[in-house]
Structure 1
C-alpha cells in the first residue's frame, strides 16, 4: 500500500546516471541479502472508524486529528498514513517472535488509547466497504499514482484508498541450497501465498462488482491494478535474475520532478526503455540510481524482495490480536527447517496441479481468493501447514499464548473449512436491513462476528528495514 510521501525530489550532480548494466547490477545486489535467517517483522494496516457509527466515512479533519494524535506517541514501530486514511504500524526488525509481537502490541495499545479519546477505533478488515472514499493525502507521488492506475480501471483507487493488510517480513535465507536457502524460501513464499490468501481471507466481496462472492476481494483488486506491476516473476527463473528482469521490464509509474510540481506519468515506458533511450522517451532526462530505487518501491508483487522477503498477500485480521496468528504462522513455516520442508511439500503438490502461471493471476491464487478454505485442496494444505507450525513454535521459543492463539484459529477456521470472511458474511446475512445500508451492515456485522476472535495475549518480532511503498 502507498504510504507517506518521500522527501521532495531534487536532481543534482551527486546523483548517479545509470547504464543498463549498472542498473541490473544494482537490482541484483539489493534484492536478496543472504545469510542465516535471524530477523522477523510485521506491518499492520488498520481502518480507522467512528466507534458509534462505523458505517459512516470520517470527515478529513477528524482523520487528520486522529493521525496527529497517533504520531505524537512515543512508539517503537514506524507509524505511517495511507492515502485513504488507513494507519500502518511497521515494526523494527526483531530477533525473536516474542520481541516482534510484544513491541507491536504495546504500540497498538497506545494508538488505540489515543484514538479512543476521539471516539475512534481501529478495525482489521481487508477492504473497507464504506465506498466511495476520498483520498486523504495529496502529493505529487499520489497524484501520479492515481493518474497511472486510472488508465486501467478502478482497482488502483480502491487499492490506495480502502485496502488493509498484514504484511510479514522474513530474511531471504542462506545462499546455499536447503530448506532455509534463499531459492527455496523464494519459491515457498509464492506457493504458500495462495494458502495464506485462503486461510486469512477477510474482505468479502459484495454488491454487483467483479468480486461479488469472493472471500478475499482485496486480492482481486491487487491483481487487477496493472497488467504487470502486481505480478510475480516466473518461478522457473533463478530468483535474482528473474526479479532483475521483472523490475526493469515493468512500466515506470512516474518520473519525479523537482519541487512540488506534477510528476510526469509516461505511458508504456519500462525502466529498461528509459535506460536505453533516455530523454528521447519523453521523460525529459536520463534515469539515475535514485530513480531506480524509487521505481522498486512502486512494484507490488505478492512477494517483494527488499533485501528480505516481504509477504504482501494477507488481509488485515479481525480482533485486537488476530494479526499475530499470520505472523507466528509465517515465522514457523519459514524459520524452522522441519516445518519449512513440510510446508513446501504440501504447497508444491497443490501448485503442481494448477500449472505454472505467475501469481496472483493463476488459477490457484484465484481459487484461494474466491473460495477461501471452502476449496478442499487448499483446506488440506492449510491443515498440514498449521500442524507443522504447531510443532515448530515451541522449538522457536513461542510462548503458550501464541501457541494457543494459533491452535484456536486452526480449530475455529482451518478444521471447519472457513476463513474470517465467512463470519462476517454469516452475520451480515442474519442482520437484515437497516438505515446504514449494505456498507453499514457489513462493517457492523464484521465487528459483531469477530468480537472475541483476537488471538490472545502475546509478544513480538519485526520487519527488515523498509522504504516508501505504495
Structure 2
C-alpha cells in the first residue's frame, strides 16, 4: 500500500459523489430508571428487552456504545418525512420494550447523573480505553466513550466534485453553529460544568489527531484533506494477523506505510511485514472521530443528543441548510467570514 492508495480510497469511496437528496440519522440514548437516575442500568438487561421485542419496524439498526448507550441508526431515505416516520416509530418501539421494566430513554449530550462506566469488554473498546490512558487522556477518554451521546445527521457528499467541495466547506462553517444551537449537556455526574455543551468540551480535550476538524485549508480538496488527516493520525489499534488486538502500536498510519515509526512497540514489530492492507486502512478510518466524517456521505457528529421529539429538529435544520438551494445560499453568506477557521476552540 502507498499514500496514493489512501487518497484513491478517499476519492473513490469516502467522497463518492452523486445527486443529493438522501438523508439518514443516528440517535443515541442513555437508558435510565427515572426513579433512580443515578443508578447504572445493566446493558444485558436492555439488550434482552430490546431483542425480545423483535426488529424495529422502521428498519433501524440497534447497537450499543461502550457505556451502554443505545443507538438507533436509520436506513437512508429520500426525504425528511419518511426518515422521521421510520425513526420515530423505531424509537417508540424501543421505548415500549423498556417501559415494562421501568426504564426510559433519556436524551442528553452527556449523562447528567452517572459517572462513566464500561459495560462492554469488546476488544475494540478495551483497546480504545487503553489507548486514551496511554496517550494522556485517562479521564476524558472514558467520559467520551461511556458518558456522551449525540444526534448524527448523514447527508450526501454532493452532486459532483465542485458541489462536494462547496458542501464540505459549508458544513464545517455551520458545525459550530449546530453545536451552539442544540447544546444539551450542561451537567455531568450531578454537577454543572459551566458549558452549554459539555460533550463538545470533552471532544475538544481529546486526542486532536483524530478528533479535530479535518478542514484546515479551504483551497485543499476534501479528499486530499481526508487523506492527509488519515495519514497523520496515530494508529489507535490493530487487529494483528495472529488474532491479537494491539492497542496504540506507536506509529501514525503514514509511518506504518513506511514500515513502522521510531515509536513502534516491540510487541507490534510484526506489523512491519507487508505493511497495512485496505482492510487496515478502513479500520483505521473507523477510529477517526472528527466533527464531520466522510464515509461515502457526510456524517455530522457535533450535535448533542436531544430528548423526544426534539431529535428531529437538528436533522431537519442540517438537511435544509445543505440540500435546499435557497437555504444553502443564505447559510453560505451568513458564515462566509467564519469559513475555514481552525482550532478546537472555534467549536466550543
TM-score of the two chains, using structure 1 as the length reference? 0.68
Residue pairs, 1:325-404, within 5 angstroms: 325-349=313-337, 351=338, 356-358=341-343, 361-362=344-345, 364-366=346-348
Match of 1:225 among 200, 206, 221: 206
User: What SS does the aligned partner of 2:224 have?
Assistant: helix
Residue pairs, 1:120-199, within 5 angstroms: 120-150=103-133, 151-153=135-137, 154-175=139-160, 177=162, 181-199=163-181
Instruction: Return 325-334 or 147-156, whichever deviates more.
Output: 147-156
- Aligned 8 A contact 1:128 1:163 in 2: yes
- Aligned 8 A contact 1:140 1:263 in 2: no
Separation (CA, whole Å) in 2 of partners of 1:144 and 1:162: 18
Separation (CA, whole Å) in 2 of partners of 1:134 and 1:322: 27
CA gap 1:278/1:206 in 2 versus in 1, 3 angstroms: closer
Residue in structure 2 matched with residue 235 of structure 1 by the alignment:
217
Residue pairs, 1:423-462, within 5 angstroms: none
Match of 1:88 among 48, 71, 78: 71
Residue pairs, 1:1-400, within 5 angstroms: 18-69=1-52, 73=56, 76-150=59-133, 151-153=135-137, 154-175=139-160, 177=162, 181-205=163-187, 212-233=193-214, 234-236=216-218, 237-257=220-240, 261-267=244-250, 269-278=251-260, 281-282=264-265, 283=268, 284-285=270-271, 286-318=275-307, 320-349=308-337, 351=338, 356-358=341-343, 361-362=344-345, 364-366=346-348
CA gap 1:261/1:244 in 2 versus in 1, 3 angstroms: closer
CA gap 1:36/1:61 in 2 versus in 1, 3 angstroms: closer
- Aligned 8 A contact 2:39 2:114 in 1: no
Separation (CA, whole Å) in 2 of partners of 1:311 and 1:106: 22
User: What SS does the aligned partner of 2:208 have?
Assistant: coil
Separation (CA, whole Å) in 1 of partners of 2:241 and 2:55: 30
State the aligned residue count: 337
CA gap 1:263/1:346 in 2 versus in 1, 3 angstroms: same
Separation (CA, whole Å) in 1 of partners of 2:342 and 2:54: 42
Q: Counting strand residues as a fraction of each chain, which structure ranks higher?
A: 2
- Aligned 8 A contact 1:39 1:94 in 2: yes
User: What SS does the aligned partner of 1:229 have?
Assistant: helix
Separation (CA, whole Å) in 1 of partners of 2:110 and 2:258: 40
TM-score of the two chains, using structure 2 as the length reference? 0.90
CA gap 1:258/1:85 in 2 versus in 1, 3 angstroms: farther
- Aligned 8 A contact 2:114 2:189 in 1: no
Separation (CA, whole Å) in 2 of partners of 1:289 and 1:45: 29
Separation (CA, whole Å) in 2 of partners of 1:52 and 1:69: 24
